[in-house]
């Protein structure tokens, strides 16, 4: 949180002036025109300094200041976004995992970073250099493209018209595409996990397609006897609250998950107080346990396998995406192969059915 000092007297007139400034800042936030560097000059320059100085629309933010200042302004705008402020823990995790690594690489590639100005390094070329430092088709390249595009919009940095195409193309990585575990393998692997608490965590991820950290941020009351077995991922998770159905339903009993309905403390004792940890750190703990037990799959393989299972069953993509806590666009892009195969098979089946004699 930042304090904006207006320098007005504590009077009825001053209060009204402060209220008007507040409304002005809110409008700027909604329009995406608010800039912290201008606001920080308020104490020295008086209330009028809250208004960003008039800028030539043809001059980008890159040309008006250095890269470090742009990154600082972007970070503050990121956390001030009204939607992100509804879920601070998820926003911190998203920033740490999906933005900060790429912005740090941007600084490193710019040289010293703090004094890299547009006149010394064409910023569009710099953005392209960072993007090209990641392998084509990789998830890192896709996320780098998303992060740098957001920074470019914030700072007025022009990007090539084919930026999205060059950054995209990520589905499920080809190496993992052929190695997703079968249902039979998923049911056998818990034998390699000696700790019963971590076996339950594994079962939750396999049955509900949860992200690593979501195992510890769920309402599991519906798993108790008589419950409908639809669990609720809590709002404090990465993508907020959503409900998830089991696929396969019989796995709730197979993994003994019904015990968690009345005794969620049976899960591993992992610190989940987001005042002292992050969602990313919780998720990393899960990945470490998979490596510790030498499991031949990653936690996200269980999530991918759950998604593919719903495709084969015929669950609508919009519903599956909602349960996974991501957009339909991401769902379609990630599972493009299986969705295409399903749709084509349905079309073939329908065509063959029309040709069969009555």
Q: Are 36 and 42 in contact (CB under 8 A)?
A: no
**What is the model's pLDDT at position 199?**
96
On whether both 310 and 205 belong to a single domain, the answer is: yes
Q: Which two tokens stand for residue 60?
A: 């980008």
Question: In this structure, what DSSP letter does residue 243 have?
Answer: E
On whether both 244 and 291 belong to a single domain, the answer is: yes
Structural domain includes residue 200: yes
On whether both 38 and 129 belong to a single domain, the answer is: no
Q: Could you tell me the CA-to-CA distances from 50 to 26, 55, 74, 81, 322 in Å, in that order? A: 12, 14, 17, 18, 40
**What is the model's pLDDT at position 173?**
53
Q: How far apart are CA 10 and CA 16, in angstroms?
A: 10
Question: In this structure, what DSSP letter does residue 346 have?
Answer: H
Q: In what order do the strands lie in the sheet with 242-244?
A: 218-219, 231-233, 242-244
Residue that terminates a domain, selected from 37, 54, 71:
54
Structural domain includes residue 87: yes
In a 10 Å sphere around its CB, with 0-12 CB exposed, 13-18 middle and 19+ buried, how is residue 61 labelled? buried
Q: Could you tell me the CA-to-CA distances from 69 to 49, 74, 149, 186, 275 in Å, in that order? A: 18, 9, 17, 48, 28
Q: Which two tokens stand for residue 31?
A: 């329009």
**What is the model's pLDDT at position 176?**
54
Show pLDDT as tens, one digit a residue, over the chain (358 residues).
567 777 778 888 888 888 888 878 887 777 777 766 444 443 333 333 333 333 333 334 443 347 888 898 899 889 888 878 777 877 888 888 889 999 999 988 886 443 344 343 467 888 888 888 887 766 788 889 889 999 998 888 888 887 877 786 545 554 455 578 899 999 999 999 999 999 999 999 999 999 999 999 999 999 999 999 999 999 888 778 899 999 999 999 999 999 999 999 999 999 988 888 888 888 889 999 999 999 998 898 999 999 999 998 889 999 999 999 988 888 887 888 888 888 888 888 888 888 877 5
Q: What angle do CA 248, 249, 253 make, to 5 degrees?
A: 110
Domain of residue 295: give its range: 183-348
What is the domain-level CATH number for residue 263?
Answer: 1.10.443
Structural domain includes residue 354: no
On whether both 330 and 343 belong to a single domain, the answer is: yes
On whether both 194 and 161 belong to a single domain, the answer is: no
**What is the model's pLDDT at position 55?**
37
Spatial neighbors of 83 by CB under 8 A, at least 6 apart, are: none
On whether both 160 and 193 belong to a single domain, the answer is: no
Q: Is pTM beyond 0.75 here?
A: no
Structural domain includes residue 29: yes
On whether both 270 and 141 belong to a single domain, the answer is: no
What would the DSSP string read from start to end of 120-154? TS-HHHHHHHHHHTS-TT-HHHHHHHHHHHHHHHH
Q: Are 238 and 286 in contact (CB under 8 A)?
A: no
Residue written as tokens 């690593």? 212
- Please report, to the nearest 10 degrees, the dihedral formed by the alpha carbons of residues 176, 179, 185, 187 taken in order: 20
Structural domain includes residue 177: no
Structural domain includes residue 46: yes
Which H or E run contains 14? Answer: helix 12-31
Structural domain includes residue 88: yes
The total of structural domains in the chain comes to: 3
Question: In this structure, what DSSP letter does residue 325 have?
Answer: T
Q: Which two tokens stand for residue 353?
A: 């059915």
Long-range contacts made by residues 69-72, C-beta under 8 angstroms, separation at least 24? Answer: 69/37, 70/151, 70/154, 70/155, 71/103, 71/106, 71/107, 71/151, 72/36, 72/37
On whether both 26 and 39 belong to a single domain, the answer is: yes
Structural domain includes residue 353: no
Question: Alpha helix (H) ranges present in 113-258?
Answer: 123-132, 139-155, 163-167, 174-177, 183-188, 196-208, 251-254
Q: How far apart are CA 132 and CA 141, in angstroms?
A: 8
**What is the model's pLDDT at position 58?**
34
Cα Rg for the chain, rounded, in angstroms? 25
Residue that terminates a domain, selected from 140, 167, 194:
167
In a 10 Å sphere around its CB, with 0-12 CB exposed, 13-18 middle and 19+ buried, how is residue 161 labelled? exposed
Residue that terminates a domain, selected from 141, 167, 193:
167
Question: Alpha helix (H) ranges present in 32-169?
Answer: 36-40, 42-45, 61-64, 67-80, 82-85, 88-94, 100-109, 123-132, 139-155, 163-167
On whether both 28 and 86 belong to a single domain, the answer is: no
On whether both 139 and 96 belong to a single domain, the answer is: yes
Q: Are 238 and 93 in contact (CB under 8 A)?
A: yes
On whether both 163 and 215 belong to a single domain, the answer is: no
On whether both 196 and 320 belong to a single domain, the answer is: yes
């Amino acid at each position: 949180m930042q304090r904006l000092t207006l320098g007005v007297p504590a009077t009825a007139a001053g209060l009204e002036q402060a209220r008007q400034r507040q409304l002005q800042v809110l409008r700027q936030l909604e329009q995406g025109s608010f800039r912290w560097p201008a606001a920080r000059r308020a104490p020295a320059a008086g209330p009028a300094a809250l208004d960003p100085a008039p800028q030539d629309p043809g001059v980008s933010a890159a040309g008006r200041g250095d890269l470090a200042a742009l990154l600082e302004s972007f970070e503050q705008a990121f956390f001030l976004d009204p939607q992100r402020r509804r879920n601070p823990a998820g926003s911190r995790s998203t920033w740490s995992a999906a933005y900060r690594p790429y912005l740090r690489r941007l600084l490193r590639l710019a040289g010293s970073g703090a004094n890299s100005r547009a006149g010394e390094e064409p910023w569009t070329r710099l953005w392209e250099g960072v993007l090209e430092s990641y392998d084509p088709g990789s998830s890192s390249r896709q996320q780098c493209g998303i992060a740098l595009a957001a920074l470019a919009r914030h700072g007025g940095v022009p990007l090539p018209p084919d930026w999205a195409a060059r950054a995209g193309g990520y589905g499920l990585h080809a190496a993992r595409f052929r190695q997703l575990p079968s249902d039979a393998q998923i049911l056998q692997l818990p034998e390699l996990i000696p700790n019963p608490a971590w076996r339950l965590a594994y079962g939750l991820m396999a049955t509900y397609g949860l992200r690593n950290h979501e195992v510890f941020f769920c309402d599991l009351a519906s798993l108790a006897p008589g419950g409908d077995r639809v669990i609720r991922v809590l709002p404090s998770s990465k993508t907020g609250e959503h409900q998830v159905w089991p696929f396969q339903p019989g796995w709730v009993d197979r993994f003994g998950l019904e015990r968690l309905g009345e005794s969620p403390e049976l899960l591993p004792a992992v610190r989940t107080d987001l005042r002292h940890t992050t969602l990313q750190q919780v998720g990393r703990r899960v990945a470490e346990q998979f490596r510790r037990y030498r499991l031949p799959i990653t936690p996200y393989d269980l999530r991918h396998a759950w998604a593919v299972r719903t495709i084969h069953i015929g669950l609508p993509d919009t519903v599956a995406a909602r349960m996974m806590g991501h957009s339909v666009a991401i769902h379609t892009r990630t599972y493009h192969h299986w969705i295409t195969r399903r749709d084509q098979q349905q079309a073939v089946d329908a065509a063959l059915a029309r040709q069969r004699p009555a």
